[in-house]
Amino acid sequence: MYTFSSRFRTVAIVLMIVGAIGVIYGFLTSHKSFEEVETMLEAEASEHGGGHGENTTHMTDVHTDDHINDHSEGVEGENARSEQEQSLESSKVEQSDMYIDETSADYGRSQSEVDIEAGDSEMNSEATNDESQGLLESQAHGDDGHSVSVEDHAMDHEEHVEHVQHQIANRPWSALYVAAFFFMMISLGVLAFYAIQYAAQAGWSPLLLRVMEGITAYLLPGALIVLGIAVLSGTVGHYNIFIWMDPEVVANDEIIQNKSGFLNLPWFIIRGLIFITGWSLYRHFSRKYSIAQDTADDNKYFIKSFRISAAFLVFYIYTESMMSWDWIMSVDPHWFSTLFGWYVFASMFVSGITVIAMVTMYLRSRGFLPLVNDSHLHDLAKFMFAFSIFWTYLWFSQFMLIWYANIPEEVTYFVTRFTDYKIPFLGMIVMNFIFPILVLMNRDYKRIPWFVVMAGLVILIGHYIDIFNMIMPATVGDRWYIGIPEISSILLFGGLFIFIVFTALTKAPLTMKRNPFIKESEHFHF
Amino acid sequence: METSKVIHALYTDDDVLMSAVKRLKAERYHIEEVYTPFPVHGLDIAMGLAPTRIAIASFIYGCIGLTVATIMMKYIMIDDWPQNIGGKPSFSYIQNMPAFVPIMFELTVFFAAHLMVITFYLRSRMWPFKKAENPDVRTTDDHFLIEVAVRGNEDDMFKLLKETGAVEVSLITNDEH
């Protein structure tokens, strides 16, 4: 039996307390008044000598020029303008407009569309001049036509400040949500891995099944917390994560209106509860049968575990996919991707396996898993290696298909990420692909515990950033930073995770007694 | 060349073969070669053979493949004739890199796999019209053969090999070369 050392328990509790203090601090400091945000933006503008402030003035200038042009040429004259320069100019107008036009609802969308169109018209101005110009102009002037006045700019400015204010208020919510989802996803990934071990009747892994059962103990509380934060952000908070929960946004957004049959709060909650119920039921019964098998005199419980594992895997692959649409993809309700569910799955699977390896190595180093040998470690490290590549494969497939086709409604997703999140976006690929592929390729390195722990830490940080990159651009936009709210949230849920997992590990012997494959697992080597 | 003498000992079971190899190593006899009809797990370790370095060679070949792909497409698509094809940015390699990744990947795998196989053929001296080096045709079917260099008393070695479970022991004298 494993005993949760009191020192380790204290570490977990301290992590939770420190994290909770930081999270509270994050919420207290994120509610800035309109004036505060206004002065902050002005300070930023003067500091950088660019940024928003300059854009505002620049915008006014260009706008004026544009209007003079328009008026001198007349309304019909607009179409006649076909010089490259003017296309560029209007794209500049459009680019600066975006800081003003943006509403909290379609900020990411309008900004990125504009970026792409602006980029396109710059690159292929000859080819697409007429077309893009027409498009840009119709967007730039919109309903206002040619009557943009000083009051409009004042209103635009107000909208901009409000938008930034909203982004700042979103930050502690998103930080909490990303960390909560990250730890929930680890235990869900482990549960899927566990089910696969049963369904595949793996001979190497039964020694590790109890470790996996311990990690999946976090799933029920963790998933309820994720769903809770999602719902609270839309009921208690001011629609801080999911804008489709905001009736005002939906009223003005035809795209979300058309999706409201799926994206509405009651149905979102019901779906979430169905997913959590299904996963928890499997986890509950597989744990029960696993412990019952220890004292049984036949393999009845093992066969039951085998059957429910196969059924769970079917349920899991549907619900995991839908969960990723609900809990992650719907933060960008205008965007969609068909392989998103698989992509999230790859992320959760590789993080889950990494955590299995790390917990196993910790327990082995404390002498609680005497029968686990280097070959078990080697196998886990191979899974970490292979699924890191699998993740990269899906990440790249999603990225390249969208990049290649460059359809504005899809590509906005990557444009916002590439313009505002360049370091996490590219850093994540280094940490989740290049680092593991080079470090874990060598056979001998996969058998060195500290080496695998090092690689595991990098993989886990990389996948945290992966989730960060999925949520943050839609909620806080370019106002992101990995500071107190983010780190505190990781500490809070990390502490909770350690506490629940290691408490669960004390509840049953760490080595199974009557698993039909346990002998094979004990003598496993290659 | 002078006459060389080896002893061929035939076995019918891989477990017996493994214990015989271990016994011979313990008695410090030199095993020239072992012929088996299928891979015997752990035989290389029992014989004390050095681990293969073909994986390292393959890694290097893969790196070469990646370099070839990169240089080739950088030259063709970016330097030599940077056309605008469907609006893809051809100003620098990195800008258009996602489109090149499938080829970079495939060439890496192609080089790593094929050059590794060719290396394997070269190192193990295999080619289409090579004369088979098979001392006894039964070793391709159901017999295992250990070839031991004669050292000291031949009769002692015969006795030892019989003890290890050999079904047939014979002295082979090579004097062709």
What are φ and ψ of residue A383, in 5° steps? -65, -40
Residue A214 lies in a domain: no
CB contact under 8 A, A406 and B99: no
Gap from A250 CA to chain B (nearest CA, Å): 35
Q: Which residues of A touch B55 (CB under 8 A)?
A: 443
Residue A123 lies in a domain: yes
* pLDDT, tens only, A18-52: 999 999 999 998 888 888 888 888 888 887 654 44
pLDDT band at A1 (very low <50, low <70, confident <90, very high): confident
Considering chain B, what is the average pLDDT of its residues? 91
Residues 6 or more apart whose CB falls under 8 angstroms from that of A66 comprise A89, A90, A93, A140
Q: Is B165 helix (H, G, I), strand (E, B) or coil?
A: coil
DSSP per residue over A21-70, as a string? HHHHHHHHHS---HHHHHHHHHHHHHHHTSHHHHHHHHHHHHHHHHHHHH
pLDDT given at position A112: 43
pLDDT given at position A272: 96
* pLDDT, tens only, A457-476: 999 999 999 999 999 999 99
Number of domains in chain A: 2
pLDDT given at position A127: 40
Instruction: Indicate if the pLDDT at residue A270 is higher than 80.
Output: yes
Gap from B29 CA to chain A (nearest CA, Å): 28
pLDDT given at position B175: 65
Gap from B97 CA to chain A (nearest CA, Å): 10
SS (H, E, C) A161-196: HHHHHHHHHHHHHHHHHHHHHHHHHHHHHHHHHHHH
Task: Tell me, yes or no, if B60 comes closer than 8 A to chain A by beta carbon.
Answer: no
The C-alpha atoms of residue A97 and residue A263 are separated, in whole angstroms, by: 30
Task: Report, as an integer, the average pLDDT of A440-457.
Answer: 93
* pLDDT, tens only, B41-61: 989 999 999 999 999 999 999
Q: Which residues of A touch B84 (CB under 8 A)?
A: 124, 127
Question: Which residues in A have their CB inside 8 Å of a CB on B?
Answer: 120, 123-124, 127-128, 396, 399-400, 403-404, 406, 441, 443
Instruction: Indicate if the pLDDT at residue A78 is higher than 60.
Output: no
Q: Which residues of A touch B103 (CB under 8 A)?
A: none
Instruction: Indicate if the pLDDT at residue B104 is higher than 70.
Output: yes
pLDDT given at position B3: 63
pLDDT given at position B44: 92
Range with lowest mean pLDDT among A98-102, A388-392, B135-139: A98-102
Give the B window 110-169 contacts with A, CB below 8 Å. none
Residue A219 lies in a domain: no
Considering only CB atoms, A399 lies closest to which of B84, B89, B98, namely B98
pLDDT given at position B153: 83
Token digits for A122? 């710059």
Considering only CB atoms, B98 lies closest to which of A120, A128, A403, namely A403
Helix (H) or strand (E) holding A379: helix A374-405
* pLDDT, tens only, A111-158: 444 444 444 444 444 444 444 444 444 444 444 444 556 778 888 888
pLDDT given at position B18: 93
Gap from B1 CA to chain A (nearest CA, Å): 43
| Residues A368 and A2: beta-carbon distance below 8 Å | yes
Closest-CA residue to A487 (of A454, A464, A457, A471):
A464
Q: Which domain holds residue A420?
A: 335-480
Task: Report, as an integer, the average pLDDT of A363-385.
Answer: 94
Considering chain A, what is the average pLDDT of its residues? 83
The C-alpha atoms of residue A94 and residue A109 are separated, in whole angstroms, by: 13
Q: Does the predicted TM-score (pTM) go above 0.95?
A: no
Task: Report, as an integer, the average pLDDT of B25-35.
Answer: 91
The C-alpha atoms of residue A353 and residue A346 are separated, in whole angstroms, by: 11
Residue A281 lies in a domain: no
Considering only CB atoms, B98 lies closest to which of A127, A400, A441, namely A400
Task: Report, as an integer, the average pLDDT of A175-179.
Answer: 95
pLDDT given at position A50: 47
Task: Report, as an integer, the average pLDDT of A446-461.
Answer: 94
pLDDT band at A450 (very low <50, low <70, confident <90, very high): very high
What is the amino acid identity at position A360?
A: T
Q: Which residues of A touch B89 (CB under 8 A)?
A: 123
For chains A and B, CB pairs below 8 A equal: 20
Q: Indicate the residue among A155, A177, A194 that finishes a domain.
A: A155
Token digits for A448? 């060195």
pLDDT given at position B176: 56
- Percentage with pLDDT > 70 across chain B: 97
What is the amino acid identity at position A41?
A: L
Q: Indicate the residue among A91, A125, A155 that finishes a domain.
A: A155
Chain B residue with CA closest to A121: the answer is B87
| Residues A200 and A67: beta-carbon distance below 8 Å | no
**Residue A451: count of CB within 10 angstroms of its CB:** 17
The C-alpha atoms of residue A192 and residue A320 are separated, in whole angstroms, by: 10
pLDDT given at position A269: 96
CB contact under 8 A, B101 and A127: no
The C-alpha atoms of residue A203 and residue B170 are separated, in whole angstroms, by: 43
CB contact under 8 A, A123 and B87: yes
Range with lowest mean pLDDT among A53-57, A197-201, A379-383, B156-160: A53-57
Task: Tell me, yes or no, if B89 comes closer than 8 A to chain A by beta carbon.
Answer: yes
CB contact under 8 A, A123 and B89: yes
CB contact under 8 A, A400 and B55: no
- Percentage with pLDDT > 90 across chain B: 75
Task: Report, as an integer, the average pLDDT of A173-197.
Answer: 96
Instruction: Of A117-126, A356-365, B131-140, give the range with the top mean pLDDT.
Output: A356-365
Gap from B98 CA to chain A (nearest CA, Å): 6
Range with lowest mean pLDDT among A79-93, A135-149, A283-297, A377-391: A79-93
pLDDT given at position A51: 44
Residue A362 lies in a domain: yes
Instruction: Indicate if the pLDDT at residue B35 is higher than 90.
Output: yes
Task: Report, as an integer, the average pLDDT of B146-153.
Answer: 86
pLDDT given at position B108: 97
CB contact under 8 A, A124 and B98: no
Residue A492 lies in a domain: no
Q: Indicate the residue among A123, A155, A187 that finishes a domain.
A: A155
Residue A416 lies in a domain: yes
Residue A182 lies in a domain: no
Chain A residue with CA closest to B98: the answer is A400
